Structure 1
Amino acid sequence: MEVFDKLYDEHERVKVRFVGFTTNHARYDFGIVYTNMFFGKPLVVCMQTGRSTLLDPNDLEDVDHLQTTFRIQDKERVLDLVEFFKDAIPGVPFNTQYE
């Protein structure tokens, strides 16, 4: 007897980028998983806290979401992250830009 209904079980070769950087305010270490899952949104993982989120360029406009997700205290630090993610997050669907 099955205890659960499997919704998906996918195997995929993905590109992963690990990046550490500093700003005038803090140090950051992220893993970015570029995948075709999740509507092409990369999975962004903070390697310091384990907190993660899916991001696309439109999500970068929601500064409050980033601040809450990564538990960042002030807006200036969040804006530093937005600037970084603008270059790191693809502007077109992953499968057409990175394959």
Structure 2
Amino acid sequence: MELFDKLYDENEKVQVRFVGFTTETTRYDFGIVYTNMFFGKPLVICMQTGRSTLLDPKDLEDIEHIQTVFRIQERQQAADLVEFFSGALPTVPFEEQYD
């Protein structure tokens, strides 16, 4: 008897972007994995803390979500990340993954 049901097991060559930048108060280092998985949302990883999330431009409309995911106390810091990610994330349409 199997202990689990495999949901997916995919191999994909992906583009990864590593970017570091500073604002007036904070340094950031991110890895952004552009993939066709996960509804086309890039996987964004904070290289300093290891926190990660799937993000698309629509997610950036909710600053509180960005604060929660990356555990940012200051709203301005989250706004800075929203500004950065607005230019870094692709604006591809939502892809239906479970057709």
Fold shared by both chains (TM-score > 0.5): yes
Q: Per the alignment, in what secondary structure is the counterpart of residue 44 of structure 1?
A: strand
Match of 2:80 in 1: 80
1:9 matched residue in structure 2:
9
Name the CA distance, whole Å, in 1 between partners of 2:63 and 2:54. Answer: 14
Provide the TM-score with structure 1 as the length reference: 0.91
Cα deviation for residue 25 of structure 1 reads 1.3
Dislocated runs of 4+, deviation >6 Å: none
The alpha carbon displacement at 1:66 in A equals 0.5
Q: Does structure 2 conserve the Cα–Cα contact (< 8 Å) formed by 1:35 and 1:94? A: no
TM-score by length of 2: 0.91
Aligned to 2:46: 46
Unaligned runs of 5+ in 2: none
Shift of 1:93: 4.2
Q: Which residue of 2 aligns with 1:30?
A: 30
Unpaired stretches in structure 1, ≥5 consecutive residues: none
Post-superposition shift, 1:3? 1.1
**Identical positions, percent:** 75
Q: How many residues align?
A: 95
| Number of the residue aligned with 1:67 | 67
